[in-house]
Structures are given as structure tokens and as C-alpha cells.
Structure 1
Amino acid sequence: MVHEIIPVMIGEEETNARLYTYFWSNSKELYDGRRRPCVLICPGGGYAMTSDREGEGLAVRFMEMGYHAAILRYSTVPEAVFPDAFLQAAACMKMLRECADKWFIDSERILIQGSSAGGHLAAMVSTYWHSPELAKILGATPEMIRPNGQILSYPVITAGTFRNESSFKNLLGSQAEESLEEACSLELNVSEYTPKTFIWHTYEDSSVPVQNSLLYVNALVKAGVPVEFHLFPKGHHGLGTATDLSRSKDGRGVQVQCGQWMDLVKAWIDHNIPDDEA
């Protein structure tokens, strides 16, 4: 395994964000020269931290599937507010494509995954990857930033009625302007540029109401964006893999039915990515 900790750069400036790689080695005995899909993982944490339970366990499972994985430990409050984490995530997408030959990544199968507030971050990149302003900041073409698909676990989506108040407070800080809130309310900004989406949530989630996912799924369908959505009846917020890999020290984090989501997402990736319509 190629495990590196790489500083995230915005132009020539080094940020305090780090990319942790979990890449398959290019073993001549096994897969000489094989290009693998890669999943960029954005853990949740309400934009106040990045959760360990939504990081390494997912990376290990994606590696088990035969994919590369990378975890973005993005900047959070009090050191950073919008758009810092967004720029860092977009910069990581650029990095993965630029280094696709070096790391044996299939450049047409680079996906972004996020849980909770990390789901909001992932969906932000999926929403705005085509922005000329973003490309200019990163010194890239929009295609270098584009996710081929997005995977959202119980994501924060809306700044409206069903918002997760703490996530938006941490994200925006003192910038709580109506126009910025609208831009960060992602169900209002889905377009034909939004990539294919896999999304799951639980009915019992009391931290990020399931309406976040329902609003987003409806917007995706309206925009003609292919989406696979799974709503599980049981399970609290922040499950990660929903298996022992995400079990916290108090025993929380395991929900057997929800644990099947990673098998479902493997089938989705294998049969739906790359996006041949792009």
C-alpha cells in the first residue's frame, strides 16, 4: 500500500489540510500497470473537525473493493471558514487527476465521497466544479476538478427549514448572508453538471433530518441527473461504514442493515462509472 500524507496546496500556498493516501501498490506480480478507480473521502464533523469514524474505515473498505482511496483532512473552524474546505477538496480532485499516471488511477473513475458535513463538502465540489472562477484559483481546467460520481452518506444539504444549524454556523462564520446561504443550499443549485449520485440516509437521523437527502434527490431527478437513493428505517447519525470498522469507544456506530450500503455502492460504481454521457 502507498500511504502518504500530502499537504494540500492552493496555488503556491500550502494550507493546513492534508491528504492521506490509501493506494494499491503497482505490484508486477498482481496488477502491473492496472488503473483503479479512486475515491476521495471527506469525513463529517459539522465543519468543526473531521471524524475518524468516517475516514479510515471507509478507506479500508474501498481498498478491499479494489479501489484506491484518499482521505481529506480539510480545514475547519476556528482556523477556517467558507470557502477554505471547498477549495481544498477541489484542489485534491485536481491533484488526483494530475498524478493519475504516478498513482495508477483511472482518471475517468475519480469519485468524491462525504458523510454528514463532509457530504455537504463533497456535494459542493460536485455542484461547482465547472466554475471558471474556481478553475482560475486552482490553475486548472474545470475537467481536472470534475468528479465522475459522488457518494453521499446522510449529507448536510439544505440551509433552509431542515438545516443542521451548527454545520452552517461553522461553515459560514460571520458570513451568514442570504445570498451565500442560498449558494450553500445545494438542493437549489443542482444542474446538468452535477455528476451521477449515490446517496443514503436513515429515517431515524435526528441530527441531519432525512429531508436533506429527499430535497436533494428530488432536485437531481428534476435536473435529469441519475441517482441511486437508499433510505434505511433504523440507524442514528454518523454511522460511517455502519460496521465494526466505525464502532466508537462507547459501542455506537454499528447498524447491521445500514452496513450493506458499501456493497450497494460497489455495485453502483462498477455499473455506472465512468459517466459516458459527460
Structure 2
Amino acid sequence: MQLIHETLTTPLSSDAVLDGYIRDASANIEPNRKRIAVIICPGGAYSFVADREAEPVALALLARGQQAFVLHYSVGPARPFPTALLELAAAVRLVRTRAAEWAIDPDKIIVAGFSAGGHLAASLADFWHTPALVDHVFSPADVQPNGLMLAYPVITSGPHAHRGSFRNLLGDQPTPDQLEAVSLEKHVSAQNPPTFLWSTFADDAVPVENSLLYAQALHAAGVSCECHLFPEGRHGLSLADRETWDAAHSDGIVPAVAAWFELFQTWLKRYDDGVVG
């Protein structure tokens, strides 16, 4: 396995980091195989980058045959929108540029996001072809995500919003226009990528309505969406197993919810085979 550590430079920042976990090619195991890449955006309410949604998820993906990356993006009110979005676009561009070196199919780059990282990932899915990125010298062809995985994502700035995430993203007193611009269910189009999405009805931090609103918007736009909603499980479960268990909470291991990862692997296999899309 190769470990990659790349610093990303964008028009608004120069200190985001992309960590990569790259399976080495083997002369005995499909030496010419081009793999799916998954770029992970951990959560943290745009105030920090959560460890439990970073390396453990990357290693789980690597073990199942995907090349995995973790984006350590800029957070906090000092780095307002669209700083992190530009960093994610730069990460996708870098992975696509280095695809041959890292045994990646450049047309199979999946962006995955947890909680506020889900907002970041879905922002790229909504805006990759729009002035929000094109005006910052990004070519749409370079930064287009080919697929999207969202876990208990922050989506809406409306009645079901996670207010802390939007305060960190936009400042303490965002205008109605600013909030509208980052309420992602309102910006879905037919150019969004196929999406795998999951959440829990018991999430009392980021209400399940966030996921429902986004799934409904994708369906209305004619975009393929697989959505799994579990009846139990608190916010921030990540893999929902011992590898991402937070010792401060006794309810971080939920086998029924941990099933999401196998469901995602099934979705990825169908995606790789051209069934999803």
C-alpha cells in the first residue's frame, strides 16, 4: 500500500491536505486494473474534521478494492464558503490528473461525505459545472464527480437545518440569499451524479428530512438515487462498528446500521458494471 500526502492550493487557500491510501499493483492480481476512487469528506459541522469518518472509512474501502482518499479541508468562520468547496474540486482534479499513476479509472471518481462533509460533497455534485467553480478557474471536466455517497448529510438551510454548520460556513448573520445559495436540495439538476444516500430516523442532530429532501430533488431531476433509512442510530455513527466507536458514547456500535457499508459496496459494484448511472 502506498500512502499519499498532498497539499492542495486553490485561489482561496493553500493548506488543505489530501491523504491517499493506494493499493499497489501486482503482476499476479489484475495488473492493468483501473479502480474506483473514493474521496472522503469527514464531518464536523464545518468546525473540525472528524477522525472517525476519515482513516477508518478509507481503510475499509481500501480493503474492498477501492482507492481511498481523505480530504482535510478548511473549516471555521475564518474560511467561509466556497473555500472548502474549491479544495474538494482541487482534490478531484488531482486524483483525475494522477489517475494513471494511482491505477484509477478517471471516469469513476466518487465523492463521499459524512454530516457537514456530506454538505461539502453534495455542493460539488450540485455546482461542479456552475460559476461557483468555473469562475475560480476550474474546468468542469476536471472536477466533475462521477458518483456521490452521502451519510446523514447536512443539506437544507430551511426549517430542518443544522444551524451550527451554516454558521461556521457563512458566519453568524448570513443573509437569506446566502442561505438559499447553499440549501442544496434547491440546486439539484439532471447533471448531478448517481447518488447513494443513508441516514437514520433517530438522528436528532441532522434531521432525516435533510436526506429526504435531497433524495426527492434527485428523483425529480431524473438522477439515479439509492436511499437507505434506518429506524435507529444516533448522528455521526460512521461505520457504526468498533473501528469508529466513540468511547464517550455507549451507542456507537449498531450492527443494523453498519449494514450500510455492504449496501454501498453492492451499489459500487453495480456502478462499476454500468448498471447504476
- Runs (4 or more) in structure 1 with deviation over 6 Å come to 274-278
Aligned equivalents of 2:138, 2:84: Cα separation in 1: 17
Matches within 5 A, 1:50-129: 50-129=49-128
Shift of 1:65: 1.2
Aligned length: 276
Deviates more, 1:139-148 or 1:84-93: 139-148
Cα distance per residue 1:32-84 (max 9 Å; x no partner): 23210000000000000000011111101111110000000000014411111
Cα distance per residue 1:109-163 (max 9 Å; x no partner): 10000000000000000000012451352x4420211111100000000000000
Cα distance per residue 1:197-252 (max 9 Å; x no partner): 10000010000000001111111111111100000001000001111111113254
Aligned equivalents of 2:138, 2:81: Cα separation in 1: 20
Aligned residue type for 2:59: V
Aligned equivalents of 1:27, 1:175: Cα separation in 2: 54
Q: Partner of 2:234 in structure 1?
A: 236
Matches within 5 A, 1:242-261: 242-250=240-248, 251-261=250-260
Q: Partner of 1:18 in structure 2?
A: 17
Equivalent pair of 2:192/2:223 in contact (CA under 8 Å) = yes
Aligned equivalents of 2:272, 2:178: Cα separation in 1: 32
Shift of 1:175: 6.3
Matches within 5 A, 1:112-261: 112-132=111-131, 134-137=133-136, 139-174=137-172, 176-250=174-248, 251-261=250-260
Give the direction of change, closer, same or farther, for the CA distance of 1:126–1:217 in structure 2 (3 Å limit). Answer: same
Aligned equivalents of 2:3, 2:154: Cα separation in 1: 29
Deviates more, 1:266-275 or 1:37-46: 266-275
- The root-mean-square deviation of aligned C-alpha atoms, in Å, is 1.8
Aligned residue type for 1:269: L
Aligned residue type for 1:128: F
Equivalent pair of 1:148/1:275 in contact (CA under 8 Å) = no
Give the direction of change, closer, same or farther, for the CA distance of 1:268–1:260 in structure 2 (3 Å limit). Answer: same
Equivalent pair of 2:8/2:90 in contact (CA under 8 Å) = yes
Equivalent pair of 2:77/2:167 in contact (CA under 8 Å) = no
Shift of 1:15: 1.5
Aligned residue type for 1:208: V
Aligned residue type for 2:7: P
* TM-score, normalised relative to structure 2: 0.94
User: What secondary structure sits across from 2:2 in the alignment?
Assistant: coil
Shift of 1:14: 5.9
Shift of 1:261: 0.5
Aligned equivalents of 1:132, 1:81: Cα separation in 2: 17
Aligned equivalents of 1:20, 1:96: Cα separation in 2: 11
Shift of 1:10: 1.3
User: What secondary structure sits across from 1:122 in the alignment?
Assistant: helix
Deviates more, 1:264-273 or 1:47-56: 264-273
Give the direction of change, closer, same or farther, for the CA distance of 1:148–1:161 in structure 2 (3 Å limit). Answer: same
Equivalent pair of 1:43/1:55 in contact (CA under 8 Å) = yes
Equivalent pair of 1:163/1:212 in contact (CA under 8 Å) = yes
Q: Percent identity?
A: 39
User: What secondary structure sits across from 2:148 in the alignment?
Assistant: strand
Equivalent pair of 1:34/1:104 in contact (CA under 8 Å) = yes
Shift of 1:274: 7.3
